[in-house]
Amino acid sequence: MKTKETISDTMSKIKMDPVTLAILKGRLEQIADEMDATLFRSAFNPIIAEAHDASHGIYDAITGETLVQGKSGLPIFVGVMAFAVKAVIDKVARDGGLQDGDVYIFNDPYDGGTHLSDFRLVKPIYRNGEVFCYLASVGHWHDVGGNVPGNYNPEATECFQEGMLIPPVKLFSAGVLNTDIVDILSSNSRLPNSLYGDMNGQINALDLGKQRLNDLLDHYGEDNIKKALSLLKMRAERMMRDHLSALPNGTISVEDFLDNDGVNDVALKLAVDMTIKDEKLIIDFSRSSPACAGPVNISRSTTIAATYVALKHIFTDVPANAGVLQPVEFIIPEDSFLSVRAPKPVGGYTETILRLIDVLFQAFEHIAPERVNGCAYGTINALSIAGHRKNGSRWVMFSFFGGGHGGHPEGDGLNHGNAPISTATIPPLEILEAAYPVAFTQWALRPDSGGAGKHRGGLGAIYEIELLEKSATAFLFGERGKFPPPGVVDGGAGAVNKFYYDSDDDDAVNNKKSPPLVSKITGIKLRKGQRVRLETPGGGGYGKPADRPQHLIDNDIAQGYVSGENK
Amino acid sequence: MRKSIVIGVDVGGTFTDILSLDEVLGEVHVEKVPSTKGDQSSGFLSGIMAATNHDLSSVSTIIHGTTVATNALLERKGAKAGIITTEGFRDVLEMRRRDRPTTWGLWGQFTPVIERKCRLEVPERTLADGTVVKEIAAASIEAAAKDLIDQGCESVCLFFINGYANKNNETKAAKILRQVWPNDYVSVATEILPEIREFERCSTASLNAYLQPVVANYLARLEDRIAKENSDSEILIVQSNGGIMSVDAAKAFPVRTALSGPAAGVVAARQIANAAGFLNVITCDMGGTSFDVSLVADGQNILTAQASIDFGMVIRTPMIEMSTIGAGGGSIAHIDETGLLEIGPDSAGSDPGPVCYGFGNDRPTVTDANLVLGRIDARKPIGNKLTALDRDAAVMAIKKHIATPLGMRVEDAAEAIVKVANSKMAGAIRLISIERGHDPKLFVAMPFGGGGALHAGALMQDIGLAAAIVPRYPGVTSALGCVMSDLRHDEVRTLNVMLNSLDDDHLHKLIAEMTSSAEGIIQQSNAKIESI
Domain coordinates of chain A in residue numbers?
A: 2-237, 373-567
Instruction: Report pLDDT for A197.
Output: 93
- Report the residue from A41, A72, A426 with minimal CB separation from B97: A426
Q: Which of A422-426, B367-371, B417-421 has the lowest mean pLDDT?
A: A422-426
* A41/B416 Cβ within 8 A: no
Q: What gap in Å lies between CA B385 and CA B359, rounded to an integer?
A: 12
- Taking an 8 Å cut-off on Cβ atoms, the answer to whether B106 and A405 are in contact is yes
Q: Which of B210, B232, B262 is the last residue of a domain?
A: B210
Contact B295, B435 (CB under 8 A): no
Do B342 and A22 count as a contact with CB atoms less than 8 A apart? yes
Q: What is the pLDDT of residue A80?
A: 87
For residues B301 and B153, membership in a common domain is answered with no
Size of interface A-B (CB pairs under 8 A): 161
Alpha-carbon dihedral of residues B423, B426, B432, B435, nearest 10 degrees? -80
Decide: B286 and B453 in contact? Cβ < 8 Å: no
Nearest-by-CA chain A residue for B123: A441
DSSP string, B405-448: HHT--HHHHHHHHHHHHHHHHHHHHHHHHHTTT--GGG-EEEEE
Per the model's pLDDT, the better-predicted residue between A468 and B449 turns out to be: A468
Structure confidence at residue B382 as a pLDDT band (50, 70, 90):
low
| Percent of chain B with pLDDT strictly greater than 90 | 50
Residue in A373, A416, A433 closest to B95 by CB: A416
Residues B172 and B311 reside in one and the same domain: no
Q: Which amino acid is at A230?
A: S
Q: Look at residue A567 in the predicted model and tell me its pLDDT.
A: 43
| Nearest CB to B116 within list A313, A468, A560 | A560
- Please report the pLDDT score of residue A55 as a whole number: 92
From the list B237, B234, B233, B235, the residue with the least C-alpha distance to B253 is: B237
CB contact under 8 A, A416 and B94: yes
d(CA B368, CA B393): 9
What residue in B sits closest to A239 (Cα-Cα)? B338
List strand residue ranges (DSSP E) for B351-420, in order: none
Enumerate the residues of chain B whose CB falls inside 8 A of the CB of residue A414: 100, 106, 108-110
| B300 and B427 together in one domain | yes
Does residue B436 carry a pLDDT above 70?
Answer: no
User: Quick check: A408 and B107 CB within 8 A?
Assistant: yes
On whether residue B20 sits in a domain, the answer given is no
Higher-scoring residue by pLDDT: B131, A475:
B131
Kindly list the distances between the CA atom of residue B232 and the CA atoms of A165, B61, B523, in Å, as whole numbers in the listed order.
75, 9, 18
CB atoms inside a 10 Å sphere around CB B225:
18
Angle at A203 between CA A201 and CA A208, to 5 degrees: 95
Q: Which chain B positions have a beta carbon within 8 Å of A316's beta carbon?
A: 102, 104-105
Q: Which of B446, B468, B490 is the last residue of a domain?
A: B468
Q: Which residues of chain A neighbour B197 with C-beta distances below 8 Å?
A: 428, 430-431
Count of structural domains, chain B: 2
- Lowest-pLDDT range, A30-39, B228-237, B324-333, B481-490? B481-490
Mutate to test the interface with A, among B107, B335, B406, B433 (most CBs of A within 10 A): B107
Residue in B108, B127, B337 nearest the CB of A317: B337
Rounded Cα–Cα distance for residues B355 and A141 (Å):
53
Interface mutation vs chain B, best among A11, A207, A414, most B CBs within 10 Å: A414
ipTM above 0.90, yes or no: yes
Distance CA B155, CA B217 (A): 13
pLDDT for the residue numbered B434? 62
Are A26 and B91 inside 8 Å of each other by CB? no
- Rounded Cα gap, residues A154 and B33, in angstroms: 67
Residue B357's nearest CA partner among B367, B345, B347 is: B367
Q: What angle do the packed helices A18-42 and A222-245 form, to 10 degrees?
A: 90
Q: How far is CA A567 from CA A495, A537, A553, B100, B113, in A?
A: 13, 17, 10, 28, 27
For residue B178, give the CATH number of its domain: 3.40.50
Are B194 and B283 within one domain? no
B148 has a pLDDT exceeding 50: yes
Answer whether residue B344 is part of any domain.
yes
**Among B453, B468, B483, residue at a domain's last position:** B468
One domain, residues B188 and B321: no
Q: Give, rounded to a whole angstrom, the gap between the first and last alpha carbons of chain A.
A: 49
Give B100 to chain A, closest Cα distance, Å. Answer: 6
Q: A417 and B88: CB-CB below 8 Å? A: no
Question: Per the CB < 8 Å rule, is A410 touching B108?
Answer: no
Spans of chain A, pLDDT less than 50: 1-2, 567
Query: Domain with B387 in it: what CATH number?
Result: 3.30.420.40
Chain A: closest CA distance from residue B290 (Å): 18
Q: Counting every residue, how long is chain A?
A: 567
- By CA distance, what is B335's nearest residue in A? A18
Higher pLDDT, B188 or B233: B188
Q: For residue B103, what are the domain limits?
A: 78-210
Least CA distance to A32: which residue of chain B?
A: B431
In this prediction, residue B97 carries a pLDDT of 94
Mutate to test the interface with B, among A23, A241, A438 (most CBs of B within 10 A): A23
What is the residue type of A505? D
